[in-house]
Structure 1
Amino acid sequence: MSIQQPASRHDEGPAALPAAPAGVIGADGLPRFGRYAGQVDGFDWAALAAPYARGALWRRFHHKRWHYVALATEHVFCAVAIVDVGWTSTAFAYAFDRDDADMMANFSQDGLPGISASLAGHAGGASRFRTRKSNIAIDSDGAGRHRLELRCDHVEIDAEFGPGAAPLLLAVGPIAGGAVHATQKSSGMPLTGQVRTWRDDYDLAGGVASYDYSNGLLARETAWRWASAHSLELGFNLQAGYFGANENALWLDGRIYPLGPAHFLYDASDPLARWHIFTEDDLLELHFTPDGARREDKNLLVAASRYLQPIGTFTGWVRSGPEQPKRMVHQLVGVTEDHHSRW
């Protein structure tokens, strides 16, 4: 099924995205497929009409949500995620020292179904993960300012970030083997706070934060490759896999632009070698040099996950349209990802 783009424009200029609709589902029960600039306040998949409607039991096992936050400074990169897969939950967090390429903390914990995790209903909401020995909280004040608090083995984080100068990306699209998926991605946002590890403390002031809130009815087998990196002036989100090109976007000087299908060229047997990433519309070409990676493979019999997230820097160029000048990218810190889940 093709993705229909609204005719109206959010802003003047090359390929600027239209403004986000009031909701991801129309009054007729059909998803509002497309890419938009702005935030919506809910994802009520129970309101879907045919052919996307599914029963409550099916939705219970196929409804997947996650809230991911990245924090980047000159010296440290941290990522934190809370994930609800419908029948269980999980969370992870890591702190990576960029100066000596050392993974100082790498936390991962499965939760008790229906107890450990509470996922926000939209990108501006609150998400929680709590076990006997760990606590993660992601909050928003409703005005674009966010807070992350984390307490777990070997790392503590107190971070505040936002608001961003550019709008959120909203992407809504169909899912083969599932039904519908939607995601909200942020641009780079000013960051303050502190990361405390067993070895050192890190001041986050002057750094950049970004987040990913995703919510959809996915297929049991779901796989993707992903790349994300941000400064306060420039950033991008790229995905190839289950969601096609729907969430591919470029943030540039306060505006957001759609990007075409992305290609990820790398050696799967040596993921810490250089990656080559480009889009078919000739608006982005980057090389990614990994400094380290977080890996995790799980096999729970009824479910499995193979996860690789290298941390490193991107160098290359981007532009907002085919006739626009290229903006050079030099050692922009971020991540790539290769992930396959049976959930």
Structure 2
Amino acid sequence: MTLPAAPASLIGADGQPLFGRYAGMAGGFDWSALAAPHARNALWRGFHHKRWHYVALSTEQVFCAVAIVDLGWIGTCFAYAFDRDDGDMLANFSQDGLPLTAARVAAHAGGRSTFKVKQTYINIEALDAGRYKLELDCPYLVIDAEFGPASAPPLLASGPVKNGSVHATQKSAGMPLSGEVKLWRGEYDLAGGVASFDYSNGLLARNTAWRWASAHNLELGFNLQAGYFGGHENALWLDGQVHALGPAHFIYDQADPLARWHIFTEDDLLELFFTPEGARRQDKNLVVAASRYVQPIGTFTGWVRSSADQPKRMVTQLVGVTEDHTSRW
């Protein structure tokens, strides 16, 4: 089904969150305005408020991903560039820093997120008329990209979180991309590629885990998650509209994430097979926090449809990612 228009705020006048899935952008996520039973004190929010801003850039030759993350008590970022022709991870780095000083994640997806520490600088910024830019400069990788506008509205999803409080996310449709990536091997032209973003903001549990899949071209795209947020953010972009999808199932070998994945939704609107070409992995153990993360890059083949009475639309070699992530934060 198509989704209703996004509200200006996800918190009503009575302090209750407006849970659901919408089409469009929210103006902010002020969780301090929540009323019981979702309200939490400032100290609890300080440790449980998690925000991240993620951008994916895809061409036939290269796939890049960049993220800025604010965990409340620490900030971090990562970026990588993957050469799809030879399966080589050209650059892969991460950097930690203090929140508010090094890492600043926007209050909403239409704002500006930055990370600056030592020789690393990242800027993710909304421009005008649905356009965005990404700037990254670090010792291993330089990206200068612009993207947008999309031909379909973004997804706005909000819902409760077990052992946490509430969470909300904005996922974009695929957007036309331009710019360049500079690496030790040379320069990669991004013209003709596709970009997408994931902005997430919530009061999450101490232990959080998920499986995720995302892929886009300019006509079709999807976002799927199973884990801490249930099926709240599952969506399909097709024919200029964003449609809700049911709960998703991920069948894969956790010990071998580079083997083929099988992903489908319970509403019989999507069935895909994912063939990885490579992966970014990162495991951290900071005593008080830990994470296990792998993000395979590859292609999806299968079919999708916007409703059960519509014909199946074939998906062939659509570039994107899956993810298996477990955090104690």
The TM-score bracket by the shorter chain reads over 0.9
What is the CA distance between 1:114 and its match in structure 2?
A: 3.2
Aligned with residue 184 of structure 1, among 155, 170, 188:
170
Question: Amino acid of the residue matched to residue 135 of structure 2?
Answer: E
Structure 2 residue aligned with 1:303 = 289
Aligned with residue 91 of structure 1, among 63, 67, 77:
77
Number of positions where the alignment pairs a residue of Structure 1 with one of Structure 2? 329
CA deviations over 1:177-230 (Å, ceiling 9, x no partner)? 000000000000000000011112100000000000000000000000000000
In the alignment, the residues of structure 1 paired with residue 8 and residue 135 of structure 2 have an alpha-carbon distance, to the nearest angstrom, of: 30
In the alignment, the residues of structure 1 paired with residue 138 and residue 298 of structure 2 have an alpha-carbon distance, to the nearest angstrom, of: 24
The unaligned stretches of length 5 or more in structure 1 are 1-14
Tell me if structure 2 keeps the 8 A contact 1:177–1:218. Answer: yes
CA deviations over 1:276-309 (Å, ceiling 9, x no partner)? 0000000000000000000000000000010000
Question: Amino acid of the residue matched to residue 60 of structure 2?
Answer: E
Aligned with residue 198 of structure 1, among 175, 184, 188:
184
1:161 is the counterpart of 2:147: yes
Aligned with residue 272 of structure 1, among 258, 278, 299:
258
SS at match of 1:52: coil
In the alignment, the residues of structure 1 paired with residue 6 and residue 31 of structure 2 have an alpha-carbon distance, to the nearest angstrom, of: 18
Q: How does 1:71-90 map to 2 (within 5 A)?
A: 71-90=57-76
Aligned with residue 28 of structure 1, among 10, 14, 17:
14
Q: How does 1:27-106 map to 2 (within 5 A)?
A: 27-106=13-92
SS at match of 1:57: helix
SS at match of 2:243: strand
In the alignment, the residues of structure 1 paired with residue 120 and residue 220 of structure 2 have an alpha-carbon distance, to the nearest angstrom, of: 34
Aligned with residue 313 of structure 1, among 284, 299, 314:
299
Structure 2 residue aligned with 1:341 = 327
Query: RMSD of the alignment, in Å?
Result: 0.6
What is the CA distance between 1:22 and its match in structure 2?
A: 1.5
Structure 1 consecutive aligned stretches of length 4 or more whose deviation exceeds 3 Å: none
Question: Amino acid of the residue matched to residue 63 of structure 1?
Answer: H
In the alignment, the residues of structure 2 paired with residue 58 and residue 267 of structure 1 have an alpha-carbon distance, to the nearest angstrom, of: 36
SS at match of 2:224: strand
SS at match of 1:27: coil
In the alignment, the residues of structure 2 paired with residue 314 and residue 267 of structure 1 have an alpha-carbon distance, to the nearest angstrom, of: 17
What TM-score do the two structures reach when normalised by structure 1? Answer: 0.95
Identity, % of aligned pairs? 74
Question: Amino acid of the residue matched to residue 78 of structure 2?
Answer: F
In the alignment, the residues of structure 2 paired with residue 197 and residue 79 of structure 1 have an alpha-carbon distance, to the nearest angstrom, of: 14
Structure 2 residue aligned with 1:5 = none
Structure 1 residue aligned with 2:203 = 217
What is the CA distance between 1:270 and its match in structure 2?
A: 1.0
What is the CA distance between 1:115 and its match in structure 2?
A: 1.4
Tell me if structure 1 keeps the 8 A contact 2:177–2:191. Answer: yes
SS at match of 1:46: helix
Tell me if structure 2 keeps the 8 A contact 1:124–1:142. Answer: no
The unaligned stretches of length 5 or more in structure 2 are none
CA deviations over 1:244-263 (Å, ceiling 9, x no partner)? 00000000011010000000
Question: Amino acid of the residue matched to residue 276 of structure 1?
Answer: H
Tell me if structure 2 keeps the 8 A contact 1:18–1:36. Answer: yes
1:117 is the counterpart of 2:103: yes
What is the CA distance between 1:142 and its match in structure 2?
A: 4.0
* C-alpha distance 62-142 of structure 1, shift in aligned 2 (>3 A): farther
SS at match of 1:273: coil
Question: Amino acid of the residue matched to residue 315 of structure 1?
Answer: T
In the alignment, the residues of structure 2 paired with residue 138 and residue 113 of structure 1 have an alpha-carbon distance, to the nearest angstrom, of: 16
Tell me if structure 1 keeps the 8 A contact 2:212–2:226. Answer: yes
What is the CA distance between 1:141 and its match in structure 2?
A: 1.6
